[in-house]
């Protein structure tokens, strides 16, 4: 099989995998909604299933699809390494700048990947009868709303 055929298959597989990740994410967020939203919509605390899987099981599938995509992405970069480096050399001419940009990019990627393993969640006791106190953030026009709860 020719290299272009392998590239097409790899790119198509990556596109399918990414589409599945997005679709499962939307399924979890908008169809298999969280407990607080379920109670508000259905009037009682019920469990929602799709294909006999709840939102946490779909979350596991979401994670596994992400691992598959990461593997495909690494393979994609490996197969296109010469093109990647040629374009990089063409865009950035100064050797020192190339090293700074490459180091910065690799550092940011590593931090984004490894950061969840070093985060310690905030612990708050649950008072009897109050249940979980979760603030649902749905403000799309205020970028700060993603980082803090706004009342």
pLDDT tens digit string along 41-61?
A: 888 878 899 999 999 999 999
Each residue of 72-118: pLDDT tens digit?
Answer: 999 999 999 999 899 998 999 899 999 999 999 999 999 999 999 99
- Flag whether 8 is in a domain: yes
In a domain, 16, yes or no: yes
Per-residue pLDDT, averaged over 4-17, amounts to 94
CA dist 83 and 14 (Å) reads 19
Mean predicted confidence (pLDDT) in 2-17: 93
Query: Could you tell me where the beta strands, DSSP code E, fall in 62-129?
Result: none
| Predicted confidence band of residue 131 (pLDDT cuts 50, 70, 90) | low
Answer whether residue 134 shows pLDDT above 50: yes
Q: Is residue 149 assigned to a domain? A: no
Tell whether 66 is covered by a domain: yes
User: Does 129 map to a domain?
Assistant: no
Max Cα distance, the chain (Å): 65
The CA dihedral of 84, 89, 92, 93, to the nearest 10 degrees, is: 180
Instruction: Determine the structural domain holding residue 68 and report its residue range.
Output: 1-79
* 68: in domain: yes
Number of domains in the chain: 1
Does residue 127 lie in a domain region? Answer: no
Picking from 24, 12, 113, 115, the residue whose alpha carbon sits closest to that of residue 72 is 12
User: What is the pLDDT of the chain when averaged over all its residues?
Assistant: 85
Supply the pLDDT for residue 123.
Answer: 85
**Three-state secondary structure of 5-70:** HHHHHHHHHHHHHHHHHHHHHHHHHHHCCCHHHHHHHHCCCCCCCECCECHHHHHHHHHHHHHHHH
Q: Tell me which residue of 16, 52, 51, 48 sits closest to 35, measured CA to CA.
A: 48
Rounded Cα gap, residues 74 and 26, in angstroms: 25
The structure tokens 């905030």 sit at: 122
Residue 132 belongs to a domain: no
| 62 vs 2, residue with greater confidence | 62
pLDDT value of residue 129: 62
Whether residue 151 is predicted with pLDDT greater than 70 in this model: the reply is no
- Band of residue 121 on the pLDDT scale cut at 50, 70, 90: confident
């Amino acid at each position: 099989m020719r290299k272009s055929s392998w590239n097409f298959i790899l790119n198509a597989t990556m596109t399918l995998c990414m589409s599945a990740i997005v679709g499962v994410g939307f399924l979890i967020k908008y169809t298999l909604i969280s407990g607080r939203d379920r109670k508000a919509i259905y009037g009682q605390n019920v469990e929602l299933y799709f294909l006999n899987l709840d939102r946490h099981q779909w979350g596991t599938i979401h994670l596994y699809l992400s691992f598959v995509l990461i593997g495909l992405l690494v393979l994609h970069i490996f197969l296109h390494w010469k093109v990647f480096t040629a374009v990089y050399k063409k865009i950035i001419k100064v050797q020192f700048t190339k090293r700074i940009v490459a180091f910065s990019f690799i550092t940011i990627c590593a931090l984004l990947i490894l950061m969840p393993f070093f985060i310690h969640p905030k612990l708050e006791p649950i008072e009897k009868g109050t249940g979980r106190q979760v603030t649902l953030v749905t403000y799309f026009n205020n970028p700060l709303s993603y980082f803090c709860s706004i009342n």
